[in-house]
Chains A and B, each alone.
Chain A
Amino acid sequence: MLDIKLTESRLDVNACIDFVSAGDAGGIDVFIGTVRNATKGKSVVRLEFEAYEPMAIAEMQKIAEQATEKFGTKKIALHHRTGVLQIGEAAVIIAVSAPHRAAAFDACRFCIDTLKETVPIWKKEIFEDGEVWVAAHP
């Protein structure tokens, strides 16, 4: 079972854990990606996330389906935030439950690594003196 969400509202880690909890799952792994206060030594004021929403949701769904297939997980919650985020706020939460811990860890890592490569979401870092779309230029 999968719970895929893209939202402008604050993410709720407990809701993700509740969703993936299951009697036949002996392990839950949670990854939370948060807004860091600096990049390459430069202070970040806030982040702005933009998404191509229908495609982002479809790609997140594909990733969760692939992880289920590949690692035999029970349930996966994949929530990503959009809009303006302040330092320390969660940009992404991935919760995975599996019968045993190894599959939960591996599937969680697979989800975040693949999300960062394929899901059409873009992050803009806002500094005191300017702003930059992350990874846009070589």
Chain B
Amino acid sequence: MRITILSFGIAKDITGKRFLNWEMTAGASVGELRKSLVESFPRLAELASVRLAVNSEYVPETLELSENDEVALIPPVSGG
């Protein structure tokens, strides 16, 4: 299934693109997507944290992804 990855802040510097199309096996979890992303972009593991948001919501790593989900890479936020 295809997932759209959005990268922000330093995560965008690491992936090189705001939007990426990512292929995962059906039923893959957020945690499995994280593993796949870190394999492709090892520098993500150097960050203080990276939260994954699915369709604009923070979710548990066990959540099963669905076709065409939009997953955002959220490095440590620093607004305010």
The answer to whether the Cβ of A15 comes within 8 Å of any Cβ in the partner chain is no
Query: B76: which A residues are within 8 A, CB to CB?
Result: 135-136
B8 touches A136 (CB 8 A): no
Binds A, one of B19-27, B28-36, B46-54, B61-69: B46-54
Query: A123: which B residues are within 8 A, CB to CB?
Result: 78-79
Cβ of B33 to closest chain A Cβ, rounded Å? 17
Query: A119: which B residues are within 8 A, CB to CB?
Result: 77, 79-80
The answer to whether the Cβ of A26 comes within 8 Å of any Cβ in the partner chain is no
Contact residue among B10, B46, B48, B53 (Cβ-Cβ distance under 8 Å from A120):
B53
The answer to whether the Cβ of A54 comes within 8 Å of any Cβ in the partner chain is yes
Contact residue among B8, B13, B48, B80 (Cβ-Cβ distance under 8 Å from A52):
B8
CA distance A69 to B29 in the complex (A): 33
For window 37-60 of chain A, which residues contact chain B by CB distance below 8 Å? 49-52, 54-56, 58
CA distance A112 to B74 in the complex (A): 19
The answer to whether the Cβ of A107 comes within 8 Å of any Cβ in the partner chain is no
> How many chain B residues touch the partner (CB < 8 A)?
20
Contact residue among A92, A136, A137 (Cβ-Cβ distance under 8 Å from B79):
A92
Known A120-B72, A120-B74, A136-B10; judge A80-B46 contact (CB<8 A). Answer: no
Known A55-B56, A58-B56; judge A33-B80 contact (CB<8 A). Answer: yes
Query: A23: which B residues are within 8 A, CB to CB?
Result: none
CA distance A115 to B58 in the complex (A): 14
Known A52-B6, A135-B48, A137-B48; judge A121-B72 contact (CB<8 A). Answer: no
Can you give 10 contacting A-B residue pairs, CB < 8 Å?
A: A52-B53, A92-B80, A115-B79, A116-B78, A117-B77, A120-B8, A122-B75, A123-B78, A136-B48, A138-B48
Given A119-B77, A137-B46, 20 more pairs with CB closer than 8 A: A49-B79, A50-B9, A51-B79, A52-B53, A52-B74, A91-B80, A115-B79, A116-B77, A116-B78, A116-B80, A120-B8, A120-B77, A122-B9, A122-B79, A133-B9, A135-B48, A136-B10, A136-B75, A136-B76, A137-B48
